[in-house]
Amino acid sequence: MLRSDARPDRMTYPFVLKSTAQLFLRRLAGELHCMIFKTGVELDSFVEVSLADMYVKTGLLDKAKAAFDQMPEKNVVTWTTMVNGFSQNGDNEKALSVFSRMLEENVRPNDFTVVSALSACAKIGAVEAGLRIHKYIKDNRFRLNAAIGTALVDMYAKCGNIESASQVFSETKERDILTWSVMIWGWALHGRFQQAVQCSKQMLRSGIKPDEVVFLALLTACTHAGQVDLGLNIFDSMRLDYQIDPSMKHYSLIVDLLGRAGRLNEALKFIEEMPINPDLVIWGTLFCACRAHKNVEIAEFAVTKLLELEPKHPGSYVFLSNAYAAVGRWEDAERVRSSMQDKGVGKGPGWSHVEVDGQVHRFVAGDNAHHKDANEIHQKLEEIMSGARKQGYMPGTEWVLHNIEEEEKEDALGSHSEKLALAFALIQTSPKTAPIRIVKNLRICGDCHSLMKYASIMSQREIIVRDIKRFHHFKDGTCSCGDYW
């Protein structure tokens, strides 16, 4: 078109911008914006929204925000583009900030805007923001349709309030397969096995057949409850009764189911007989079970397979180093870690989020020194650990995977991100008040799990931790997982 000297106009550019976004052409995105500016094309709302949407979908959020801020008039579509864009790209705090600005400027959101904002709350466990959005929905008489109902159920479940999720589910009369699957997932992640199974039976009675996602939720529920035989029966039913071919995720859950129960040889045989080639997740799941049950032989085999699949994946090296450290083979553990460094393989840090007074705070493992309240957090953590010791807590130094002195190991344990988040929340909130909710990007370690139980007694508060696997509700010295995770 350009070679023929034809000039693109405001009707042409939106289609080009959309194609650029779909093809993820970052460099072209900037060039197109310059071309629009230089040729003096009229920036109507259609072009402006397309520009912002292109930048969002190519991950150029700063440029998307700049384009958004320059718009003289913003309608619900432009606001929604930004809320959804930030959330989809992982900047959920910014998504909620944009949503708040939208309400402050008296722009009424549509259903999709609300769903995007609730999704952002769910991802980071921002229950206070979620409660405000729910109140806005009620006050402004939004219809509780399947989309909004499902988003609310998902938000409450992922923010640790499964009872409110169940209440919204009951109030949502328009339910599709996604609504049911989100509720079943919620029960499963909170370790409520009976409720997950009961919900699936209600779904069947309503005339909706389970899909692959529902079966994932049911298998997850069985895994967390240690219901091995039922889980295997559900897996068979999915294939034989509903003709659903298992995905890699279904297979990994069966490996997890068998592995957690200590049936490691069965898990290995299951992997070897899979009709599809196992991936990193499958072998990683088997390894985690081996570590828990201290089976170094199968663990080494699993890591060998991991390294064959992806030689530079940091998880493979960490897995093997952890396996050696767990049984005291420190020289082997250090050899693996040295190999990691030699090959330039890095490991991402653990982090935790905690919401206080509507603001989400992030803590990174081993990086407390830069926080403005670092000294107070350290003192509070010392206070928690000292009080816990008096009640029988013993630091689980076996979770420190380096051959260092016991005192150094205890110091290392104190830098775990969920402990930092807990100490900060206890400092910033009134005693004996609402539950403390922590979101963690990794699996909670045994030492942190133990300390949380003691902390729930001393603080007389419920502490809810969402890790990468499930929810842990710590209350009066016990955990909802029954120490099975």
Tokens 């952890």 locate to: 322
What pLDDT is recorded for position 33? 66
Instruction: Answer with the one of 347, 380, 395 that is the final residue of a domain.
Output: 347
Strands 351-356 and 359-364: antiparallel
What pLDDT is recorded for position 403? 41
pLDDT winner (highest mean) among 56-65, 400-409, 435-444: 435-444
Q: How many domains does the chain have?
A: 2
Q: 32 pLDDT exceeds 80?
A: no
Measure the CA–CA gap between 8 and 30, rounded to whole angstroms: 16
**Residue 65 phi/psi, 5° resolution?**
-65, -40
Whether residues 365 and 461 fall in one domain: yes
Q: What is the mean pLDDT of the chain?
A: 86
Closest CA to 422 of 407, 444, 400: 444
Residue 139 lies in a domain: no
Arithmetic mean of pLDDT, 262-266: 97
pLDDT digit string, tens, across residues 225-254: 999 999 999 999 999 999 999 999 999 999
Whether residues 387 and 417 fall in one domain: yes
Whether residues 420 and 342 fall in one domain: no
Whether residues 416 and 443 fall in one domain: yes
| Number of Cβ within a 10 Å radius of residue 349 | 12
Residue 85 lies in a domain: no
Whether residues 292 and 310 fall in one domain: yes
Residue 16 lies in a domain: no
Arithmetic mean of pLDDT, 54-68: 86
Whether residues 466 and 359 fall in one domain: yes
Residue 210 lies in a domain: no
Whether residues 471 and 356 fall in one domain: yes
Whether residues 282 and 382 fall in one domain: no
Name the pTM for this structure: 0.82
Arithmetic mean of pLDDT, 57-63: 85
pLDDT digit string, tens, across residues 39-49: 555 566 677 77
Measure the CA–CA gap between 7 and 4, rounded to whole angstroms: 9
Q: Which two tokens stand for residue 372?
A: 């403005």
At 405, is the pLDDT very low, low, confident or very high (cuts 50, 70, 90)?
very low
At 406, is the pLDDT very low, low, confident or very high (cuts 50, 70, 90)?
very low
Whether residues 360 and 430 fall in one domain: yes
Q: 106 pLDDT exceeds 90?
A: yes
Least confident of 56-65, 275-284, 453-462: 56-65
Instruction: Answer with the one of 312, 347, 382 that is the final residue of a domain.
Output: 347
Arithmetic mean of pLDDT, 2-21: 61
At 9, is the pLDDT very low, low, confident or very high (cuts 50, 70, 90)?
low
pLDDT digit string, tens, across residues 428-480: 998 877 899 999 998 898 889 999 999 999 999 999 999 988 999 999 999 99
Higher per-residue pLDDT: 309 or 195:
195
Higher per-residue pLDDT: 317 or 446:
446
pLDDT digit string, tens, across residues 362-380: 999 877 666 788 899 999 9
Higher per-residue pLDDT: 412 or 290:
290
Whether residues 475 and 444 fall in one domain: yes
What pLDDT is recorded for position 27? 76
Per the CB < 8 A criterion, the answer to whether 54 and 17 are in contact is yes
Per the CB < 8 A criterion, the answer to whether 263 and 251 are in contact is no
Q: 64 pLDDT exceeds 60?
A: yes
Measure the CA–CA gap between 379 and 362, rounded to whole angstroms: 19
For residue 299, give its domain range.
264-347
What pLDDT is recorded for position 368? 63
What pLDDT is recorded for position 366? 76
Report CA-CA distances (Å) from 303 to 254, 280, 315: 19, 9, 9
Instruction: Answer with the one of 329, 347, 365 that is the final residue of a domain.
Output: 347
Residue 316 lies in a domain: yes
Output the domain CATH number for residue 338: 1.25.40.10
Report CA-CA distances (Å) from 195 to 49, 162, 163, 242: 44, 11, 11, 22
Whether residues 376 and 474 fall in one domain: yes
> DSSP readout, 104-139?
HTTPPP-HHHHHHHHHHHHHHT-HHHHHHHHHHHHH
